[in-house]
Amino acid sequence: MSLWRATEGVTRPAEVTFAVDGTDVSAPAGEPLATALAAAGMLGLRDSPRGGTPRGAFCHMGLCQECVVTVDGRIVQACLTPVRAGMQVRLGGTLR
């Protein structure tokens, strides 16, 4: 279903809101976008170019490129991109 944030003893920064394909999503400021998306239940980020099968973040450390999305018009790796208020995220179809 989704990632979830541990709560016991953990203090996180205040949440910010950003848009994913027009839908508002909130997450602690500075959290990696791949984590924020998965925590919001958005695990599938794109389809593979040839087989068209769903893909999501796999390595969470900037290597596999499976988490590639578009942020404010630029292609980025979601696992390396910190969440900012107001960012415009587009999923699907990148790297196709």
- For residue 88, the tally of other CB atoms under 10 A from its CB is 13
User: Among residues 44, 64, 76, 94, which is the contact residue for ligand FES, using CB under 6 A?
Assistant: 64
Beta bridge partners of 89: 20, 71
25 versus 77: smaller Cβ distance to ligand FES: 77
DSSP assigned state of 73: T
Residue closer to ligand FES, measured from CB, 34 or 91: 34
37 binds, among ligand FES, other proteins, none (CB under 5 to 8 A by kind): none
Read off the DSSP letter of residue 2.
-
Residues 56-85 that bind other proteins (CB under 8 A): 56-66, 68, 74-75
What whole-number distance in Å separates Cα of residue 86 and Cα of residue 48?
28
Minimum separation from the CB atom of position 22 to other proteins (A) = 20
Q: How far apart are CA 70 and CA 7, in angstroms?
A: 30
> Of residues 17, 19, 21, 49, which one binds other proteins by CB under 8 A?
49
What are the structure tokens assigned to 12, written together? 């996180």
Name the site residues for ligand FES (rule: CB under 6 A): 34, 57-60, 62-67, 77, 79
